Amino acid sequence: MNFSKKNHKHLINNNYVSKHLKIVFSVFVLFMAMASCNSDKSKKGEQELAVYQCPMQCESDKTYSKTGSCPVCKMDLKAIAQESSSELVLDEISDESIFNLTSKWNTEEAEVIQLEDLKGKTLVMVMIYTTCKAACPRLVADMRNIEAKIPKESLKDLNFILISIDPETDTSQRLKAFAKENLMDDLHWTFLQGTESGVREFANVLAVKYKQITPLDFSHSNIISVFNTKGELVHQQEGLGVDNKETIETILKLAN
């Protein structure tokens, strides 16, 4: 009788161990399946992000989403590095950013840019015209005054930008001469000449109003605007020769 009970207990224990092992094995199989699925998704995501290009760049910067050969030189396309999805999210442009504007501008160095090319630095902007004899010289002085109050080590993170509201007169050559005349030709100064429509569009964004009175004379708002590195308007200073303490504080906060 005792021997039978022992055997019975032994069988129960064996059944318990067997069931326990089956459960452990099932969990292990499920875990491996999930890991494999995630790995496949990761590989699929990497493949979807992969971009290929001719190593000789026969077609300039043209890229392809699949492997193959260049239609020009017949060389095998090579994979090129791409930004990760997290970097792309961080680099997104908000609806409030001036970098959404697609207008093109000429710099004082005769380079053609878009506003998005200014991304990455704190921007201090003002709209003027170089033949102005009244308000604009004072706006220029206000910009210089702001620059003077910024520590030199922070200037590398800033871009002081002057946009002409008279694109017909203020050519790249004229803007470059104006920059030199006013000692504003360091790397952190940029002058822009756009099209009439581009200038008008940008003025509307800044709430700057201007009107041509004579062929060489305009009436206009006197506003200095500060944008963060993503092109979003953060602060505006209105008036001539006004206290710029808040403007300086905003710039230093954004630059640090």
Instruction: Count the domains in the chain.
Output: 2
**Are 233 and 116 contained in the same domain?**
yes
Token pair of 56, please?
Answer: 């000789």
- Under the banding of pLDDT at 50, 70 and 90, the label for residue 44 is very low
**Are 42 and 107 contained in the same domain?**
no
Predicted confidence (pLDDT) per residue in 205-223, tens digit? 999 999 999 888 899 999 9
Predicted confidence (pLDDT) per residue in 71-99, tens digit? 877 778 778 765 444 344 446 789 999 99
Token pair of 64, please?
Answer: 């392809």
Identify whether 61 is part of a domain: no
CATH number at 236 reads: 3.40.30.10
Report the candidate in 222, 143, 218 with the shortest Cα–Cα distance to residue 186. 143
**Are 231 and 136 contained in the same domain?**
yes
CA dihedral over 190, 196, 198, 202, signed as positive or negative:
positive
**Are 143 and 243 contained in the same domain?**
yes
Percent of the chain's residues with pLDDT above 90: 60
Give the residue numbers spanning the domain of 103.
98-255
Identify whether 90 is part of a domain: no
Identify whether 230 is part of a domain: yes
Average pLDDT over residues 179-207: 95
The per-residue pLDDT for 17 is 44
**Are 131 and 229 contained in the same domain?**
yes
**pTM for the complete prediction?**
0.65
